[in-house]
């Protein structure tokens, strides 16, 4: 390495853009929603509030509608630069304009409060509606494909503008005597690709380049007792761990 | 450097200190000698044993090129000219023989990371290679420009920095509602902080 590494400070840090493919800088002036544990460093005067924080009530009522994920999210408030990153995965920002986009809950890092977060009817996915910027992570670069398409559930990052996917099970392969043996014993059978999500209609489907799901961090650490109220919040994490 | 995950070191009779087992290939003539206690002598050995800032190091000496890598983590080169680099022992891959290493007390921060109360310091003139999960982001800290870092993402810093442990744990945390980013290390002073785009599992949780 002949040139020195780049040194960042608040005057050189990009405004709402990537620092490198794995880190994203948000120039905060006001409020942003943030998934817990995705902030790695910040300059300036920023405080982090849980979703249940009283003064945020009006914001929450307009922008956050996901009861099962309440425990996973915080609101960053103040002025300064925040650096977001997620387990050294590729991080990208997307601008949404009067659109809707659904993304795997664990892949969504942060979003501007001009967007409204809703819970998808597919467990473990969150839908963003409105206009604004959000930041999402993927294991490897994201590929955009257009429906009709069938995708592997684990490679799915999210989808935009299309109707919700349906589950496609490769039944033909599991049919008949041979198929029965395959299904019951797993011998010579399961290719591992029997379960697929099927997308039809107009829109875009976002895929990551791996089928390895991110190892989700569990919001409550071992050794801490789980307060009753967050048991529901953990459903989101549980769902993700089950691979939904 | 070969890519960013393999470090190539050309040696001409001199030596480098590297983490045990991090050599992936070499050509020419090399000898690998294990150095107990991080090559810091008996006192260093004992200190490391006590402090838990374990570091198994080998001395590589010879002529040729030696390639080092560690679990496909990104390697960041840090040039030291007399200043001091503070780095987690688990993130230190390789140092030039001209650099001295030692242990240092860090206080509460280390404990919160599950890394123990101590960190490793590297001093002198030369190159040090530091690993990170994903390429490190280097952030400048200047007077009046403090930086707060998630303990799980911190890997190293150089310069004259004062670090303090910052919490905003309030009564809400007690009832189970936390801001999720309650534990931070605050850096003040003048220097550079290396942050990885990933978080270790920490004792303090997803802090």
- CB count within 10 Å of CB A44 equals 17
Residue B158 has pLDDT above 50, yes or no: yes
Residue B173 has pLDDT above 70, yes or no: no
All structural domains of chain A, each given as residue ranges with its CATH number in brackets, are 14-138 (3.60.160.10), 140-213 (no CATH)
Task: Tell me whether residues B137 and A23 touch, CB distance under 8 A.
Answer: yes
Sequence ranges of the domains in chain B: 7-195
Task: Tell me whether residues A48 and B135 touch, CB distance under 8 A.
Answer: no
User: To the nearest whole percent, how much of chain A has pLDDT over 70?
Assistant: 73
Residue B120 has pLDDT above 70, yes or no: yes
pLDDT at position B73 is: 80
- CB count within 10 Å of CB B108 equals 14
pLDDT at position B12 is: 84
- For residue A148, whether the previous peptide bond is cis, meaning omega lies within 30 degrees of 0, is yes
Distance CA B205, CA B203 (A): 5
The residue of chain B with its CA nearest to that of A225 is: B176
Task: Tell me whether residues B137 and A220 touch, CB distance under 8 A.
Answer: no
pLDDT at position B51 is: 55
pLDDT at position B129 is: 86
Q: How far apart are the first and last CA of chain B?
A: 33
Q: Scanning the structure block, which residue is given the tokens 């650490």?
A: A221
Q: What is the mean pLDDT of chain B?
A: 73
Residue A230 has pLDDT above 70, yes or no: no
User: To the nearest whole percent, how much of chain B has pLDDT over 70?
Assistant: 68
DSSP B132-179: ESSPPEEEEEBTTB-EEE-TTTEEEEEEEEEEEEEE---HHHHTT---
pLDDT at position B191 is: 87
Task: Tell me whether residues B145 and A9 touch, CB distance under 8 A.
Answer: yes
* Burial of residue B138 (number of CB atoms within 10 Å: 0-12, 13-18, 19+): buried
Residue B94 has pLDDT above 80, yes or no: yes
Q: A53: which strand partners?
A: none
Q: Nearest CB to B135: which of A20, A83, A217?
A: A20
Distance CA B199, CA B155 (A): 10
Please check whether the domain covering B7-195 is classified as CATH 3.40.50.300.
no
Task: Tell me whether residues B196 and A53 touch, CB distance under 8 A.
Answer: no
Q: B86: which strand partners?
A: B121, B157
Pick the closest to residue A146 from A205, A99, A96 (CA basis).
A205
Given the cut 0.90, state whether the ipTM is greater than it.
no
Residue B14 has pLDDT above 70, yes or no: yes
Task: Tell me whether residues A7 and B138 touch, CB distance under 8 A.
Answer: yes
- Contact between B189 and B143 under an 8 Å Cβ cutoff? The reply is yes
Bigger pLDDT: B188 vs A219:
B188
Residue A235 at interface with chain B, using a CB cutoff of 8 Å:
no
Task: Tell me whether residues B1 and A53 touch, CB distance under 8 A.
Answer: no
Distance CA A147, CA A122 (A): 18
Residues in chain B: 207
How many secondary structure helices (H) and strands (E) does chain B include?
Answer: 3, 11
Q: Nearest CB to A9: which of B133, B140, B207?
A: B140
Most A CBs within 10 Å: which of B2, B139, B141, B203, as the mutation test of the A interface?
A: B139
Interface size, chain A vs chain B, as Cβ–Cβ contacts under 8 Å: 132
Distance of CA B28 to the CA centre of its chain: 29
Residue A239 has pLDDT above 60, yes or no: no
CA atoms within 13 A on the CB side of A182: 16
Q: Which residues of A touch B188 (CB under 8 A)?
A: none
Over residues B80-109, mean pLDDT: 76
pLDDT in tens, A118-160: 888 888 888 899 898 889 888 878 888 887 888 887 788 888 8
């Amino acid at each position: 390495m002949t040139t020195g590494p780049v040194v960042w400070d608040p005057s050189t840090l990009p405004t709402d853009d990537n620092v490198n493919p794995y880190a994203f800088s948000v120039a905060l002036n006001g409020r942003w929603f943030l998934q817990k544990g995705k902030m790695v460093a910040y300059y300036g005067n920023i405080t982090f509030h849980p979703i249940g924080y009283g003064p945020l009530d009006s914001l929450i009522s307009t922008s956050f509608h996901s009861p099962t994920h309440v425990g996973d999210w915080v609101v960053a408030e103040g002025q300064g630069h925040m650096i977001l990153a997620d387990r050294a995965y590729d991080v990208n920002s997307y601008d949404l304009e009067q659109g809707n986009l659904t993304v795997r809950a664990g892949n969504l890092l942060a979003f501007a409060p001009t967007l409204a977060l809703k819970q998808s009817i597919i467990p473990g996915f969150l839908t963003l509606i409105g206009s604004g910027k959000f930041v999402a992570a993927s294991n490897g670069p994201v590929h955009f494909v257009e429906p009709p398409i069938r995708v592997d559930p684990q490679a799915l990052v999210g989808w935009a503008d299309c109707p919700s996917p349906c589950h496609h099970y490769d039944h033909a392969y599991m049919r008949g005597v041979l198929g029965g043996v395959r299904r019951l014993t797993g011998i010579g059978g399961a290719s591992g690709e029997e379960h697929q999500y099927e997308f039809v209609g107009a829109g875009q489907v976002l895929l990551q380049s791996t089928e390895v799901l991110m190892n989700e961090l569990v919001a409550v650490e071992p050794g801490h007792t789980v307060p009753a109220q967050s048991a529901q919040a953990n459903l989101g994490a549980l769902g993700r761990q089950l691979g939904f | 450097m070969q890519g960013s995950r393999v470090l190539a070191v050309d040696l001409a009779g001199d030596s480098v200190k590297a983490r045990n087992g991090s050599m992936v290939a070499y050509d020419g003539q090399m000898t690998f000698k294990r150095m107990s206690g991080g090559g810091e002598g008996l006192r260093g050995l004992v200190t490391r044993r006590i402090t838990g800032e374990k570091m198994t190091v080998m001395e590589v000496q010879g002529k040729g090129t030696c390639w080092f890598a560690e679990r496909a983590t990104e390697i960041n080169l840090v040039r030291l000219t007399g200043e001091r680099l503070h780095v987690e022992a688990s993130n230190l891959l390789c140092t030039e023989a001209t650099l001295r290493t030692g242990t240092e007390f860090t206080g509460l921060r280390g404990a919160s990371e599950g890394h123990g109360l101590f960190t490793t310091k590297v001093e002198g003139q030369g190159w040090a290679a530091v690993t990170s999960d994903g390429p490190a982001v280097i952030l400048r800290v200047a007077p009046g420009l403090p930086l707060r870092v998630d303990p799980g993402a911190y890997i190293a810093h150089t310069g004259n920095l004062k670090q303090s442990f910052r919490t905003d744990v309030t009564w809400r945390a007690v009832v189970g509602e936390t801001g999720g980013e309650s534990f931070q290390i605050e850096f003040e002073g003048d220097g550079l902080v290396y942050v990885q785009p990933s978080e270790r599992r920490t004792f303090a949780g997803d802090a």
